[in-house]
Structure formats: C-alpha cells, structure tokens
Amino acid sequence: MKKKKRVKYIFVAGGVMSGVGKGIAASSIAKILQSRGFSVTAMKIDPYVNVDAGTMNPVEHGEVFVLGDGMETDQDLGNYERFLNRDLSKANYMTTGSIYLSVISRERNLEYGGKCVSVVPEIPMAVIEKIKYAAKHDKADFVVVEIGGTVGEYQNILFLEAYRILKFHHPEDVLFVLVSYLPLQKDGELKSKPTQYAVHSVNSAGIQPDFILARAAVAIDKKRKEKIAFNCSVREQDVISAPDVASIYEVPVNFEKDGLGDLILEKCKLPQRKHDLSDWKALVAKIRRANDIVKIGIVGKYFTAGEFVLADAYISVIEAVRQSAYEQGKKPEIAWLNAEDFEKDKAKLKELDVFQGIIVPGGFGSRGIEGKINVIEYCRTHKIPYLGLCYGMQLAVVEFSRHVAGMAGANTTEVNPKTKFPVIDIMPEQKKNIAEKNYGATMRLGNYKAVLKPGTIAASAYQKRVVVERHRHRYEVNPDFVSKLEKKGLIFSGISPDRRLMEIAELPADKHPFFVGTQSHPELLSRPLHPHPLFRAFIAEAIKARKSK
C-alpha cells in the first residue's frame, strides 16, 4: 500500500511593524525549498473583512493582483508567482471576510447539523480546511502560509489559532517563522527588545517560533543572535539574518548563507537534499553588474499618501520593468510622475524628454485623466517609446481619436457618459452590474485569449499567433469606432478570437518606434527569469531611444 504523503506547512507572520517583508520572506522560503526539488505552493491570509482584494483602495492596501482564474488578491500573490515561476489560483488566497462568509453560508445550509456555531473553533478550522485544500489542489510537499498584519493585533488572532490547532495535530509537520525588525540606532547598535516583545505576543497565543528572521538595515552580528536566542527561547542558528538588500531577488541567496533550507528540513525531520539556485544566483550577479541606466517614467495617480510616495500600487509594473532591464544588462531608473501635474501645466510635458520610455498603467475614474492624455499625445508626437496598460491603452485610443481621427471631445464613458464620441464604452453585459451597484468581482477578470496580427510590433514581441493575458476592467474599445480609427492609421494588433474585443492597439513601426497599448495587464505574468515579451520589447526600444538622443 502506497504511503500517504505528509504535507509540511510553514506559517510566516510579522512582528514589530507592518511592511516588515513577510511576503518576500515567504516567497524566498518557498524558493529555497523549490530549489531542493520539492513541490511548493504559497498562500496569503488577508485579515480584512473584504471578501477579496478587488474593492480595496490601492493606496492603502497596494496593488490588486489578479490571478489567471480571475481572483483579485493581495500583491504578495504576485511575489509568490514571480519567485516560484508558477501560476496560482483562488485556492491560494483567503481573507477574514471570505472565511466568515463560508462559515455563515454553511450554517444557513444546515451543514453544521443544527449545532451552535462558535467563532472558535469553526473559523480556525475553516482556515485549516482551506490551507489543506491548497496543498491538495497544488499537489504540494510544502505549503508556505503568510499571515497578514502584525502579531499582537486582534484581527489576525484567529489565524494564529489556526496555526496552533494545526501544530497540535501535526507537531512534526508545521513550522512557524516570525519576521521581526531590529531598529538601528544612530550609534550603530541594533536593538532587539522590539523583537523580544513580538515573540512574547505570539507566545501568548500558544505559539513558539521555530525561526526568527531578523530584518534590519544591516546584517545582525553574533552578539545580537545570541541575545535574541536566549530571550526568545530559540537556537542561535535559528535566528536568520535578513538585512536590507539592493534587490529582493537577493533574499533567498542571503537566507541560504545562514543555512535556512537545511534547518527547515532538519526541523521537518526530512533528509537533506542538494539545492540548485544557480539560475537565481546568476540573476543576482547580473543585477549587481548592471550600471548603464535606462530611465523610465510611470505616469499614475496612486503614488502619494500624505507626504510620502508609495510605489506598492504599481509593484508588478515596477518589477516587470526591472526584470526586462536586468535581462538586457541595464539598471532601471524609475520615476513616479503625477498625472495631475500635466493637467495644470502643459509646459511640464517638456520634462518627459529626459525619459527613454513612458508607461501609463491601469487605473479607474476621472482624476488625472486629461494629464495622462496630454502625456500620451506628447509621447506620440515626440516619438518617445510608450506602453499603455489597460486604462493606458484606452486613453491612447481616446488621444488618437481626438487628435488624429478628428473626433474632438472623444472620451471614455467612464469619464464622460454624454460624449459625442464614446470610443471607450462599457459592454452591455456590464451595464446591469453598474445599474445594480454590483461592483465586487464583476469586471472582465483573469485569462483571455487574443489573436495577433502578423507583421505588427505585438506579433514581433510575442513571437506567437495566439496569446493569453490577464485582465481587470469593465470598459472596452467601442466596436462602432474601430473601422474609422483603423482608416486613420491605428492598428488593432490583438483581437479576441470572436473579433468582438480589441485587445492591443499600436501605431505602425514606421510611424513610431514603440507606441503600444494593451487592454490586459501583462505585468502580472512577468517573471524574474522570464520577463514579459511586451516589456522586453518596450525596454529594448527605450535603450535604442537613449542612443539616438
């Protein structure tokens, strides 16, 4: 009789403060195990009452990362996919809201057999069930589970309880990793007291960490490791140094310097295995060697929170640019450009001349739209390489309609429902959702095919006839205007198989070196070792643009 496989579970939680790097830590642990030949999957628990991430403000929560099956998730799913080079699914994501919803739905369907349904144990048990389903769905040897939030908060206590219960039932198969932070004093000393308190917080939930990943501005020394080990009841070798690095892709390599992979296998009572991170190490070496700069501007409106600039709203776009630049031996220099600045003062458009390429990423609503259109027009008329993503593609169609196709005042009905030329409009099946205010998970989401037109920039970039990309939008190019736009010189180089939806628009290569807009989000499929074809082509033209200036 075949022995049943015992899946191993590694929970990753954060201490001291938010944004400590749990997602990258979880991704790196998964990568380290994958490099040893294990089948690894990863999942995120978001401690929000939202049922998914689709309705969360990107400035507050960061990018909404869409999976191939259409699930709208936390940006950390993007890190998991990039590090593991694999597609994930809705099985890999849960929120407080989705778990409560599933338990309440069961209760309404009498699936609890009439018993009183309590928060504990039913909520933690539903969490465990979801985690085990992910393991089965992905045929995983290891499941790395990231718990959102910070230990000590009320909102993630039920997920910590799920860990405690799972550990109780499978003591040799479940590990807990605490990612903590050591502040660096002006005198150069790293302070361990906040980490000690974070460990005491998880101790109060009945949890003893197996590993402490010591995040700090610099690598921690032996003295600090000894102090943390003694005060937090862990072995000294189980305190792993996690200093700031120039690139997130260095993190798995750094963890392996402290032997994290071997230590995990030891604690899981598994035989040691050889690991192969050669491709990853080559990538890190290439990143370190890159000195020649390629300067890219991203024109958006989800950058600022008070006095601070936050890039998390566009993290996949940023990583896609970096990956393509590194592959071509260049060091990306990315600047955040506020779209509203180009509405107030058109003279500022001259500032775009310093960039080798401009990206207008996805977004919603009317704020900053005219600024983006001004930027797009400047890129088109001054032959600056341009890549429009989702809304960036739609606004490129609006700009072309106004200034080339003679449709003054053309617009998207998202901004102006009464425009004379609704070149971007909502599809009939979406109008009912809008009327009923049914916004959650009702957009065109997930994977869709596009057929490429031979001889175009898109076809040259992809080197394929049919491609599959991820989507997240309600509005589309209005088919009533396609013929007129094509006659004026706009090429729809990617079209849905039923020829109903325009997926990619571009200008001919003899008119502009690279002016491409895609209705999809190609950044979601770009990986460190496999950059996305459109971003690769965009960066290649940006590099040429520098040489021609």
State the catalytic residues.
390, 521, 523
Query: If you ran DSSP here, which 8-state letter would residue 404 be given?
Result: T
SS (H, E, C) 15-47: CCCCCCCHHHHHHHHHHHHHCCCCCEEEEEEEC
Query: DSSP assignment of 477-530, as one string?
Result: E-GGGHHHHHHTT-EEEEE-TTS-SEEEEE--TTT-S-EEEESS-GGGG-BTTB
- For 360, phi then psi, to 5°, come to -110, 110
Distance CA 104, CA 99 (A): 9
Taking the chain, what is the end-to-end CA distance rounded to the nearest angstrom? 70
**Cα(461)–Cα(321) distance, integer angstroms:** 15
DSSP string, 81-127: HHHHTS---GGGEEEHHHHHHHHHHHHHTTTTTTPPP-HHHHHHHHH
- CA dist 507 to 65, 476, 501, 503, 517, Å? 29, 18, 18, 14, 9
Length of the chain equals 549
Beta-sheet pairing, 502-506 with 491-495: antiparallel
Whole-angstrom Cα distance, residue 249 to residue 272? 24
Helix, strand or coil, per DSSP, at residue 130: helix
